[in-house]
Structure 1
Amino acid sequence: MHLSPRPALGSLSLHTKLMLALVVLVATVAGTSAYILVEHERNRRLVELQERATRIADLFSRSLALPLWNIDRGAIESQLAALSPNPEVAEFTVTAVGYGTVSTVKRKLDPGDAVVRIRPIEYGPPGNAPREKIGEIRVVLTKAVAQQAISGARRAIFAVMTAVVAVLYAATFLLLKRMVRSPINRLEEMVDRIAGGDLYATCPVESGDELGRLAMRVNVMAERLRESTLRLRDSERKYRGIVENAVEGIFLLDQKGQLSEANPAMAQLLGYGSAIDLIATAENDPGKRPFSPTQTEALFEILRAKGEILGLELQLSRLDSTPIWVQLNARGLTEDDGSLHLLEGLLTDVTARKHAVEDLRLQRDQLELEVSERKRTELELLASRERLQQLSAHQEAIREEDRKHIAMEIHDELGQLLTALKMDVSLLRMQLPAGSAALQKADEMRDLVEKTIQIVRNVASHLRPTALNYGLASALEWLTADFSRHSQIPCHFDAKGPEPSLPDPRATAIFRIVQESLTNIARHANASRVDVTLANTEAGIELTVSDDGQGFDIVAARAGHSYGLQGMAERARLIDAQLDIDSEPGSGSVIRLHIRDDSITYQ
C-alpha cells in the first residue's frame, strides 16, 4: 500500500507548532495595530495639509482683492513670496478676469501628489455696490513632505512592534519548553512502551493540569486495554467455535476473488473435503474460485452503494462443476481510511427452493400472459374511447370556432352593409318631398333595415356573444337578460367575488352549459323564476342555475338519452369540471358546475 509523505507542518513538534502559532498571532496583531496607527497618522497629516491649503487659499482670496483690483503686481508677488519658501508649496497662481495670469509660483510636482484649492477673489467697491469677482487664486500644496513624515512614523512604529514580538517570543519559548515539552516527552515514552505491548506500564502524574490529567487518562486507557485484550481473546475463541460449527457457509472474500477464510460448511457446500483444501485450490487455480471475477466485482459494487447485501441469490459451481443456487447475505469490512477491503458473507443452499420457484414462475408467466392479453384488450378499448372523446372535443372546438367566424362575418360584413343601406335610405328620405308616397315608402324601408340589423345582431350574439370578449360574468349577464326578454320568465344573475379570467375555450364551454340549461328551462320547466349565480369560492368557481319549475326524473331523463344533459356533461368533462344536477318531479331543479382552482386567474 502506497503511503503519501507526511506534510512538513505535520512533522513539527507541538512546542514548535505552538511557537509558530504564537508568532503568527502576535505578528498579525502587531501588524494590524501598526497598520492602523500608520493609517491614522497618515490621515491626520493629510487632513492637516488640506486644512492648511484651505486657510491659505481663503487668506489670499481676501488679501489679494485690493492689489488685484489695482493690478499691483509687486504687492501680489510680495504676498506670494511670503509663503512660497514653505516646502509644502507647489504652486501659487493668481489670475484676473479678462486679463489672464497675473503672477505664479510653481515647482515640479507629480499630478496625483497634490492638494488643490481654488478660491475666487472678489472686490467690494465703496458704498453699497455689490461685490465683484475680479479673479481667482489657485493654491497647490504637495503631499511629499507629509509622506516623508508618515514614512518616518511608519519605520518607528514597526521597529517598536518588532522588538515587542521578539521579547514575547523568547519569553514564551522558555515557558513552553519547561511547562509543555518536557512532560510531553515523558508521556510519549510511556505511550511507546504501551504500544509496544507493555500493557502494565504506567505514566507518572506530576501535576494537576491538562498534562497531568492526560497522564491519568493514559493509565486508564492502558488498564482498559488490558481488559479488552482478555475479552477479545475470549470472544475470538467463541467466534471460532460458532464459525466452525455453523451449518451455513461463512467466508471472507477480497476484491481479487481470493478467499481469506472459510468454514467447513462452506467447503462442504462447494464439494471440498475441508476449508484448507477450498482456500488452497482457489489460490492456486483462479478458475476454481467460488466467485467469478464478474460476480466479485458486482458484489463489491453493491457493498459500496448500499453498505450490505441481503438475500441476494447467485448461481455457483461445485468442485465437480454441478451448478447450485445459493442465497448470500454479506457486509463489508473497511480499512482504517474507510476504503472497502473484504467481504464477509454467509451462504445458504437454496437450490431445491429455486427449482420450486422456477416451476411456480412458469405457471405464473402463463397466467400473466393471459392477464396481459386481457389488459391489452381493455387498454385498446380505453384508447378508443379516449380518441372518441378527443374527437368530440376537437369537433366542439371546431363548431365554436365556426360559430365565432360566422358571427364575425355576419357582424362585420352584413352588419356594415345594412348600416350603409340605412344611411343611404336616410339620405334618400331627405331628398323626398314631405307627405309624398315615396317618403312614406322610404320610412318603411328604413324600419325594415333597422329590424334586419337587429336580427343580424341577435343571430351574431347567439352564435358567439360579443360579451364573452369582456369576461364570463358579462356574457352570463347578457345571456340572462336575453332569456328574460324572449321567454318572459324573470331570470336574475348574481356574481360573487372577483371575476375569474379563464381561457376562451373554457369560458365558452361554461357559457354553452348555462345556455343549454336555460333552453331546457324555457322548453320543459314551466318555471316562474330562474336564478343564475357565479360564485368565486376557495375551492374554485361554482356556477349554479336554479328554477322553481316542475322538475324532472334525472334517472329517466338519462335513460331516455337526453341529448341536452349529455351535451352539458360532455362540455363539463372537456374543461375538467364537475357537473351535478339535482331535481325531482314537482320541486324544480338545480344545476351546479364546479371548476377547480387550478389554472384560474383573477382580475
Structure 2
Amino acid sequence: MRLPPRLTLRSLSLHTKLMLALVVLVALVAGTSTYFLIGHSRERRLVELEERATRIADLYSHSLAQPLWNVDRGAIDSQLAALAPNPEVAQFTVTAVGYGIVSNAKGDQHLDPADSVVRIRSIEYDPPGDAPREKIGEIRVVLTKAVAERAISGARRAILAMVALVVAALYAATFLLLKRMVGSPINRLEEMVDRIADGDFDARCAVESGDELGRLATRVNAMAERLRVSTESLRESERKYRSIVENSLEGIFMLDRSGHLNEANPAMAQLLGYDAATDLIAAAVSDPGKRPFSPMQTGALFDLLSVQGEIAGLELQLNRLDGNPIWVQLNARGRAGDDGSPRCLEGLLTDVTARKHAVENLRRHRDQLELEVSERKRTELELLASRERLQQLSAHLEAIREEERKHIAMEIHDELGQLLTALKMDVSLLRMQLAAGSAAMQKVEEMRELVEKTIQIVRNVVSHLRPAALNFGLASALEWLAEDFSRHAQIVCHFHREGAEPHLADARATAIFRIVQESLTNVARHANASRVDVTLANTEAGIELIISDNGRGFDMAAARAGYSYGLQGMAERARLIDAQLHIESEASSGSVVRLCIQDGSVTAH
C-alpha cells in the first residue's frame, strides 16, 4: 500500500496558504476582540451591581431609622421583603445597637462570600429639637454576582456563535473570490510557464488585469520573449562557433588526461596529415601509438597547466601520420573537474615549422652578424685610435707650421729687412751724389721706389706669416687685422673689445687669430658684405669671439657637403684649443661665427 506524501506547509498551494492565513488572522482578531468585549461587559455589569448594592444600602439606612427606633419588626420586615425577591439579592440583615439582629431576609441565590458584593451602612436616628443624631443600628446588604456571571456567559456564547458565523461566511466568500481572482490566473500562468519551460517560447500569458498577477503575467511574457531572443542568439553563437572551429586555420582540440582526443577540427586533422577530424579521433582511439601527444607530453602539459593555470606559446615537436616531424606552438586552458584539478585541456595548435627553420637561419645569420659587428667594432676602435693619432699629428704639424712661420718671419725681417734697409741707404747716398734731372738721378729714383715697394712687400709677408701685433696680445693683433682687412678688402671692419684683455698661451692666441683671419677671408671672397664686426668678450665664464657680417649668407648644409676646407680648417683649429665653434647663416641675412672658450686657465691682465 502506497502512503500519501506527508502534508507540510511548503507542499500546500498558494490558495490554501492564503485561506489558512485569512482564517488564522480573522480568528485572532475576532478572538481578541471578543475577549476584550466580554471583559468590558463583565466589568460594566459588576460595576452596576456594586452601584446597585450601594444605593440599596443607602436607601435602607434612611428608611429603617424610624422603624428601628420604634423597634417595629413588621415595618422592617415589610421593607426588606419588598426587595428580597430580586434575583441578585442574597441577604439583607438589620442589626440594632445593643440588641443584635433584628431582621434577616434571604434571597433565592446561594450565598457565596467570594462571589458577593457586600455593603454595610449605619442607621442613625435624628430626634426632634437640637439633639444630635444617634446611631441605633446598621444594615448589611449582600448581592450575588452569579446572575451577572450567567448573563455574561450567555452573551459570550452568543458573541462566539456570531463570530463563528461571520468567519464561516467570510471564509466561503474569500474562498470563492480567491479561487476566481487568484487560483485560476495562477493556474493559467503555471500552464504557460510549463509550455515555455518545454521550449515553446511563442507561448504567452493572457494579461487580464493590472494588479500584481497581471504585472506578473507581463513579466512572464517579457521573460519568454527574452528567452526566445537569447535562445536564437545562443543558436546563432553556436553556429558561428562551429563555423569558426570548422574553418579555423589553427588546430583546435580537446585532450583528456589519458591522452584521448575528445574533439578536433579539420585544421587539426590536416596539420597531422589526416583527411578528416573523425579519422584523427578514430585513429587515436584504435591505435595509442597514433595519438598526437605522447604520454610523456600529455603528463607534462597537465602538470604545467596545474602550476600556471594556462599554457601560452609552448613549442612542441609532434609527428605527422607519415612520420615526418613538425613543430607546433600550443596555447591552452584547462577545464576543471569536480575536485578543482584540470579534467581536460582545450587548446590551439599552430604550425611553426617554417618559422622554426627561419629562426634557426636567423640565429646563424645573427651569430655571423655578431662576428662581423665585433670585427667592425675592432676596426672602428683602430680607426678611432688612428684618428686620435692623426689629430695629434695635425696639432703637432700646426704647431710646427706656426713655428716655421715665426722663424721664417724673423729670418725675413732680420736678414732681408736689414739688407733692404742697407740697400735703401746706399741708394739714398748715391742719389745725393748725382745731379738733379740727370738720367742717372731718374734711374736712382726708380731703384729707391723699387726698394720701398720691396720693403713693404717684405713687411706684409712677415705680418701674414707672424703678425708682430701678436707679441703685444690677442686684442692688438685682432685690431691690426681688422684695420688691415678694411684697407685691402675695401670693406668696413670694426673691432670691439668687452672686458679686460685675456692672457692666453701663444698657441691659443695664434689659433684664434687664424680663425678670425680665415673668417675675414671668407667674407671678402663670398659674402659680398659692406660691414664686418669682430667682437672679443672676456667674461668670468671664458672668452667669446664673434665675427658677424651683413652679407648674403650661405647654405650650411651645402657648404659642408661641398667639403669647404676653410670651414674644416677653422673647426680643426677650434678643436685643437678645446673651443666650441658655431656658425650661423641664412640667405640674405649674413653670417655669424661664434667661438667660445671655457677655460679656467684664461686670465686677464
Scaled by the length of structure 1, the TM-score of the pair is: 0.38
| Structure of higher CA gyration radius | 2
Scaled by the length of structure 2, the TM-score of the pair is: 0.38
